[in-house]
Chain A
Amino acid sequence: MERRTLFPGRLLPALLILPQLLLTFVFFLWPAAQAIWSSAMREDAFGTSTEFVGLDNFADLFADPLYLASIGRTALFCACVTALSMGAALLLAVLADGEIRGRAFYRTMLIWPYAVAPAMAAVLWVLMFHPQIGLVGAWLNRIGIVWDYKLDGTQAMALVILAAAWKQISYNFIFFLAGLQAIPKTIVEAARIDGSRGVHRFRTIVLPLLMPTVYFLLVVNLVYAAFDTFATIYAVNGGGPAQSTQTLVLKVYLDGVVNANIGSSSAQSVVLMAGVIVLCALQFRFLGRKAVT
């Protein structure tokens, strides 16, 4: 049953949502406005004067091969993280959905990585893959594979993808498991009786019924990989070596905070904001699709 409480007048409701409005204003609207404002400004090299330059910062940005490379890199990173973490989570969820011994324990263990702080998770991966002291990294070098993510850009990319994907598996797992459990048991049983087995049954019955969850997670994972992996990447190797793991979010930070190029960094932030808005719109559409099946 739905319960609705109506508050009389205008003052009380306004007062009640004020804290949320304040937070939104202080931490979102104000910085956003400031970013838009400073994206149209340019500081001189000494930081003594600023001038209004309109859309020049944006024009420079899209003419900059480094920025375009970062876009490509981010796209690759997002695609890999999403595919890897959704694939692994789906596999684990299918296994956990079955009748297995000790599945409560198994499920709990799978949810744990979500509670680990991103920087901690990154440190964990670094410790495992460190070329000299890491369990896996040192082993790779011992068996003859030259492994050093601090020198090799491709290896660095692989490592941050792994670390970022691992962090998101728990989240995906929870949603996939819930999605699988929402599929009526009798439908799967009917398919079994119809003679359908294993992978074929999964492909023709389970996966189609799981599609709303897949769509939803696709958007969530893309958003996560694009905007929420700063801490992970930064803690692994700060976007290096060279710019090999410098995704768009890292570049905003490095250009703006480290290199103090406020104008360009702000323009990049505005571009990212536009990206978030587009992805959110997509997400709402896909959430709307949930009702279809």
Chain B
Amino acid sequence: MAGLRLEGLHKSFGAIEILKGVDLALADGEMLVIVGASGCGKSTLLRLVAGLETPTAGRILIDGRDVTGLDPSARDIAMVFQNYALYPHMSVFDNMAYGLKIRGLPRAAIRAKVDEASALLGLEALLERKPRQLSGGQRQRVAMGRAIVRDPKLFLFDEPLSNLDAKLRVQMRGEIRRLQRRLKVTSLYVTHDQVEAMTLGDRLLVMHQGVPVQLATPTEVFEYPADTYVAGFIGSPAMNLLPGVLGRNGTAVTVAGTEIALAPSRFAAPDGHAVILGIRPEHVVLDPSGMSWPVEIVELLGSEMLVHARRGGEASLTIKIVHGPAMSDVIRVSFPSEHVHLFDQATGLRLTPAGSGVPPS
């Protein structure tokens, strides 16, 4: 097993720059999840690591060895594709054995490895079937098996679960995590699904339009989003982002004409600075003496409800409450200051708590 390093990776297709400089280091056995909206360049990044595309600039090192110019066949990696990419004319056994045969392993060794992998994945009874005779979940397992049998240095997953139905997705998610922990293979996992990202990764890399915007543990990403993009992308329903102006020595923000008090000196920015106040829907509390918001829509989600409110046209607010009182036309809420995030309105970057020593970059 081995680590992975990406150094200043750029990729352009023609005049369009898709990846604008990605630096990344994965420790041996780590699982890193890359998450971002569709089209942000996740697959492109994975294909660069696999060797299916050539970077415009930058280096890729697997296990300390520079593989940037190498063919995929020489990189000793395995990849699980979104559409599985099983060989349709081969049986499940042959699909898994293909890579081993190419390496010239003796028959008995191939048999042993395929048997071991298929036992791990519960595929023993399906070895003679063709891919078209399998269900989506089974195909997914075969694709995993094909990756496992080769004992690669690196696993690459490109949205491997997005073709499965919701229930199977949750089950396979758990299985992938279990397998990865057990086999301790360094893994790069790409998804646009934030729940998958939060549950699977040791660390998370959030990408936005070809730029990595935050690399941290899932908890950190959730609790301290680096900018408004991450804040809006991670968490469901999305964090409320309200434009406002900082005042009173950084202890208050004025949003839609109402001043909201913050814990003293938490944010490093001059008064009068245009900011964005962020608060998650589940952190907003009902408060009879709080700010009043005209209600637009109420959505019932079983035990919880979502209230969408709008004030003065531009500011909209979503609130998640467990057991609502009879809904009036106006709700009064307050924003507990320990849950308030502040971002710079011009750059979108997080305004770090004052005194933490880290200047807002």
B-chain residues with CB within 8 Å of residue A293 when the two chains form the complex: 88-89
Interface string of A157-197 (1 = CB under 8 A from B): 00000000000000000000000000010110111111111
Q: Which of B50, B87, B99, B150 contacts A187 (CB 8 A)?
A: B87
Q: Is the CB of A195 within 8 A of B77?
A: no
Asked if B85 and A196 make an inter-chain contact with CB atoms under 8 angstroms apart, the answer reads no
User: Is A209 within 8 A of B88, CB to CB?
Assistant: yes
The contact of A193 among B73, B86, B87, B103, by CB within 8 Å, is: B73
Q: List the B side residues contacting A209 at CB < 8 Å.
A: 88-89
B85 contacts A189, CB within 8 Å?
Answer: yes
User: In this complex, what residue of A is CB-closest to B152?
Assistant: A193
Q: Are A187 and B85 in contact (CB under 8 A)?
A: yes
**A205 interface residue per 8 A CB criterion:** yes
Q: Is B102's CB within 8 Å of the partner chain A?
A: yes
Consensus secondary structure, chain B interface? loop
Interface size class of A (residues with CB under 8 A): 10 to 19
Contact A195 B87 (CB under 8 A): no
A183 and chain B: residue at smallest CB distance:
B88
Q: Does A3 contact B (CB under 8 A)?
A: no
A13 proximal to B (CB < 8 A): no
**Residues B80-124 near A (CB distance < 8 A):** 81, 83, 85-89, 98-99, 102-103
Q: Is B205 an interface residue (CB 8 A)?
A: no
Is B304 positioned at the interface, with any CB of A under 8 Å from its CB? no
Q: Please, how many angstroms separate the alpha-carbon atoms of A13 and B147 in the complex?
A: 58
Is A200 positioned at the interface, with any CB of B under 8 Å from its CB? yes
User: Which residues of chain A (196-217) have a CB below 8 Å from chain B?
Assistant: 196-197, 200, 204-205, 208-209
In the bound complex, residues from chain A placing their C-beta under 8 Å from that of B78 are: 193
In contact, A195 and B102 (Cβ under 8 angstroms): yes
> How many angstroms between the C-alpha atoms of A186 and B85 in the bound complex?
6
Q: Distance (Å) between the CB of A195 and the closest chain B CB?
A: 4
Asked if B52 lies at the interface with its beta carbon under 8 angstroms from chain A, I say: yes
Whether A190 pairs with B87 at a CB distance below 8 angstroms is yes
- Taking CB as reference atom, which chain B residue is nearest A208? B89
Residues of A contacting B85 with CB < 8 Å?
184, 186-187, 189-190
Whether, in the assembled complex, B146 has its beta carbon less than 8 Å from a beta carbon of chain A, the answer is yes
> A192 touching B71 by the CB < 8 A rule?
yes
Assess whether B71 is in contact with A186, with CB atoms less than 8 Å apart.
Answer: no
- Assembled-state Cα–Cα distance A190/B85 (Å): 7
Give a binary string over B126-158; 1 marks a CB under 8 Å from any A CB, 0 the rest: 000000000000000000001000100000000
Extra inter-chain contacts (4) besides given A190-B86, A193-B50, A193-B51, CB under 8 Å: A184-B85, A187-B85, A189-B85, A197-B71
Residues of B at the A interface (CB closer than 8 Å) are 50-52, 71-73, 75, 77-79, 81, 83, 85-89, 98-99, 102-103, 146, 150
* 3 smallest beta-carbon distances between A and B, as pairs: A194-B99, A186-B85, A190-B85
Residues of A within 8 A of B (CB): 184, 186-187, 189-197, 200, 204-205, 208-209, 293
Cross-chain pairs A/B with CB under 8 angstroms, 14 sampled: A184-B85, A186-B81, A189-B81, A190-B79, A190-B81, A190-B85, A190-B87, A190-B146, A191-B87, A192-B52, A193-B51, A193-B77, A200-B102, A204-B98
